[in-house]
Amino acid sequence: MNLARHFGVYSSPVEDGMLIRSEVIPQIENLFLDLSQMPDVALPLMLGCAILHPAVKFGGIAHLAFKESHRIQALAKELAKMGIELIENQGIYSFRKSVILPQGITMEFSSHNDHRMAMSLACLALIGLKIELDDWQCVRKSFPDFWNELHELGFDSVYI
């Protein structure tokens, strides 16, 4: 499954590597994603869909309750700060978006002492938000150089 295409990212192999280009982000109305086999992708994918594709529904995420944080509750709490409600109905999750955030505002988020939450929330910079995290160092568990890599990609980092 090519999940990146839902976010306007097209990739294809070429003779000496991979071609990656940006395309128009498609509208998605009726998509269900079972994330039971994708635990590491679940948070950033759900966060991206909450912003760009709130009609997408998810299942197979019960395992997220048993990670460094209760990732389902943590995600719900952080999404609520942006006016997005995470709704659960018989193991199927969806979103209700009540506000559109202006670009350039600074928002404070909690990583919930969870490396995957911190890295996922950092992606919000892609939509023009300025992100302040309470515990940016928690990424050391899985990707100690994460913030430096983001800086190399052109993101500004301010540690609080």
Supply the mean pLDDT for the chain.
90
Please tell me the predicted confidence (pLDDT) of residue 61: 96
**Residue range 10-30, pLDDT digits in tens:** 889 999 999 999 989 888 888
Active-site option among 34, 40, 134, 145: 40
40 is catalytic: yes
Residue 130 has phi, psi (to 5 degrees) of -100, 125
pLDDT digits (tens, 9 = 90+) for 125-151: 888 888 999 998 999 989 999 999 988
Q: Which domains does the chain have, with CATH numbers?
A: 3-152 (3.65.10.10)
Write out the H or E segment, with its range, that includes residue 44: helix 39-52
Confidence band for 47, pLDDT divided at 50, 70 and 90: very high
Task: Specify the pLDDT at position 102.
Answer: 81
pLDDT of residue 160: 45
Give the pLDDT confidence score for residue 79 in this predicted structure.
96
Rounded to 5°, the CA angle 37-40-44 comes to 115
